[in-house]
């Protein structure tokens, strides 16, 4: 309380400055610690861009080649840094082009603030040039949105936007600003937002729930942990590790939880979900206590809900009450930030080992390795596989690279075989499955982590959806590494057509351009590999480069990703081939 009073006192003691709304927006961004924006200018946001021009020494703007690229770049930046990503666009088509990235950020809980220009207040509702109701359009896919029509609203709304975007379960916020509010003047004073009435971002853990959860965990004979991105968002990696090691419970990741725990940790048993590992999926329906930490029981994880873990008591550690009992009925809900809840339950759980239970995971891993994994990463057939490319990147990077994947077969292969020693290393589009995500997200990730190697893993289909963002790499010399795994197909759709539609390959064959020449047109060093004998050296050359690098790898056209749980089937119906 004293802190809040002190903040209000400091705010009142600040000397107001008379500035335009457009300049006020810049001051708001600076006050929130923003130093990088992705965007695309246009008429309705031009006053803000004019002010941005004057603040180039404090605030870097990256001109993406499409507004969708701006949102994905902001997402990549946010995911690798944990900070709020910022994207900006004009009204009309500029604003609507942001929607895919906003929807992606919403379902994957990525903190982002999008600023859009809007026609002047007097023209609202008149179908003026480049007017769209972006607030109405974006309402279902934002954590919060607001249209500013009066200049005086700017400081309070911008402060609220950043607070809501980053607090609790993070998400995207959109602020639409009419042109008159950008031109008009106000007496500007900025106060950071610390609370919003009726908004409780992180529930406090209840002692009773913690005790009930600990009782179930301590009495379990076959407990199993599934951890998701909530661990990363809550910065609870150390707490998860301590919890797993004290209890001795096998733990598996969701695709967005990948890298929260060292992939080589002896109790890390792999990935759950449609293309996850054999053991974690099969043994979900044999565990007696399922402990879900920072995950939302997505359908790609659960398969048929009627058969999912029906034998188990379920404990759900979750920050968002709306996710509890939404898909899966749980026995104990532990609400709160995962860092706090795991810290508080740690003294309540017993030190334990579950050697016989863990041995069941090891046995199933060996079956999967012999049947599938070894052939994926050490193939004997002539054509190159996606798995062996990921394995070469693992070795060349020392398991330290950030891998940013697009959506498709290559994504599942990357999530299955990438090795990580550091959190915030796996960046992908999870819930929305957005093709075109990979390239711009990798740009944002690299700009947010210049000290780390960032490798984009992309299919030939998704690559062409945002290929124009090579222009950003060229203009700003962003030293990102791009690997296109080219099978001349929309591979994941083709796999489904092969398995479930009698090989009717409707609209999935790709006639692709010369990707190397395109990259060279942007002055990016490029190489194509189609022979196994050249792969290792090419990957090493790419990873050693200090500059942007493009590597195209021609892989098998009809390679399928296994294991696979057919859509709507039980996790126990997982197929190894």
Q: Which residues are catalytic, by number?
A: 67, 129-130, 179, 492
Cβ atoms of residues 132 and 97 within 8 Å: no
Three-state DSSP state, 203: coil
Cβ atoms of residues 409 and 493 within 8 Å: no
CA dihedral (74, 76, 79, 81) positive or negative: negative
Helix-strand-coil percent breakdown of the chain, rounded to 5? 45, 20, 40
**Prior bond of 563 cis (ω within 30°):** yes
d(CA 192, CA 33): 11
Residue closest to 255 by CA, chosen among 453, 108, 470: 108
Half-sphere exposure of 549 (CA within 13 A, CB side): 19
Cβ atoms of residues 286 and 222 within 8 Å: yes
The kind and range of the H/E element at 17 are strand 17-20
Distances 164 to 20, 113, 207, 233 between C-alpha atoms, Å: 25, 9, 27, 14
Contacts of 170 (CB under 8 A, 6+ apart): 109, 110, 111, 143, 233
Cβ atoms of residues 239 and 247 within 8 Å: no
d(CA 179, CA 149): 8
Q: Which one-letter DSSP state was computed for residue 170?
A: -
Structure tokens, 417:
């075989």
The kind and range of the H/E element at 525 are strand 525-529
Cβ atoms of residues 203 and 335 within 8 Å: yes
Q: How many CB atoms lie within 10 A of CB 126?
A: 9
Structure tokens, 310:
């029906």
d(CA 481, CA 439): 10
Cβ atoms of residues 63 and 87 within 8 Å: no
Structure tokens, 170:
């993070």
Bridge partners, residue 118, by sequence: 178
d(CA 177, CA 301): 40
Half-sphere exposure of 275 (CA within 13 A, CB side): 20
Distances 469 to 60, 491, 517 between C-alpha atoms, Å: 17, 23, 15
């Amino acid at each position: 309380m004293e802190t809040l009073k002190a903040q209000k006192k400091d705010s009142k003691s600040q000397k107001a400055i008379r500035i335009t709304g457009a300049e006020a927006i810049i001051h708001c961004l600076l006050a929130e610690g923003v130093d990088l924006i992705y965007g695309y200018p246009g008429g309705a946001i031009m006053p803000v861009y004019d002010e941005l021009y004057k603040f180039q020494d404090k605030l870097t703007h990256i001109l993406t080649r499409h507004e969708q690229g701006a949102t994905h770049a902001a997402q990549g930046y946010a995911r690798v840094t944990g900070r709020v990503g910022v994207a900006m666009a004009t009204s009309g088509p500029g604003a609507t082009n942001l929607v895919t990235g906003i929807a992606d950020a919403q379902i994957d809980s990525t903190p982002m603030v999008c600023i859009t220009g809007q026609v002047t207040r007097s023209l609202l509702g008149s179908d003026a040039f480049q007017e769209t109701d972006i607030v109405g359009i974006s309402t279902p896919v934002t954590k919060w949105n607001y249209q500013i029509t009066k200049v005086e609203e700017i400081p309070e709304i911008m402060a609220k936007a950043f607070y809501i975007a980053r607090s609790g379960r993070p998400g995207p916020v959109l602020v639409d600003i009419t042109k008159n509010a950008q031109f008009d003047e106000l007496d500007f004073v900025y106060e950071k937002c610390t609370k919003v009435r009726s908004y409780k971002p992180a529930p406090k853990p209840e002692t009773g729930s913690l005790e009930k959860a600990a009782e179930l965990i301590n009495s379990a004979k076959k407990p199993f942990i599934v951890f998701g991105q909530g661990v990363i968002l809550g910065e609870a990696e150390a707490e998860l590790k301590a919890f797993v090691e004290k209890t001795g419970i096998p733990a598996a990741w969701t695709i967005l939880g990948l890298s929260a725990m060292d992939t080589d940790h002896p109790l890390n048993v792999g990935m759950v979900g449609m293309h996850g590992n054999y053991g974690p999926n099969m043994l979900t329906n044999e565990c007696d206590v399922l402990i879900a930490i920072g995950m939302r029981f997505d359908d790609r994880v659960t398969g048929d809900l009627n058969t999912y873990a029906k034998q188990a008591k379920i404990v759900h550690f979750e920050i968002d009450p709306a996710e509890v009992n939404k898909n899966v009925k749980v026995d104990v809900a532990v609400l709160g930030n995962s860092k706090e809840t795991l810290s508080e339950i740690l003294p309540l759980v017993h030190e334990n080992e579950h050697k016989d239970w863990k041995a069941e995971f090891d046995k199933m891993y060996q079956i999967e390795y012999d049947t599938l994994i070894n052939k994926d990463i050490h193939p004997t057939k002539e054509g190159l596989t996606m798995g062996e490319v990921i394995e070469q990147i693992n070795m060349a990077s020392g398991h330290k690279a950030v891998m940013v994947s697009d959506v498709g077969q290559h994504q599942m292969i990357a999530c299955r075989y990438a090795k990580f020693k550091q959190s915030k290393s796996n960046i992908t589009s999870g819930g929305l499955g957005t093709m075109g995500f990979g390239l711009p997200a990798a740009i944002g990730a690299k700009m947010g982590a210049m000290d780390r190697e960032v490798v984009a893993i992309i299919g030939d289909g998704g690559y062409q959806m945002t290929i124009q963002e090579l222009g950003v790499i060229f203009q700003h010399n962003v030293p990102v590494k791009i690997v296109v795994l080219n099978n001349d197909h929309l591979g994941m759709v083709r796999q489904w057509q092969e398995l479930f539609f009698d090989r009717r390959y409707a609209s999935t064959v790709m006639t692709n351009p010369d990707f190397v020449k395109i990259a060279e047109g942007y002055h990016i060093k490029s190489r194509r590999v189609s022979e196994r004998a050249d792969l290792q050296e090419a990957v090493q050359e790419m990873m050693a480069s200090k500059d942007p690098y493009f590597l195209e790898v021609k892989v098998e056209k009809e390679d399928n990703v296994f294991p696979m749980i057919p859509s709507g089937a039980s996790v126990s119906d997982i197929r190894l081939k």
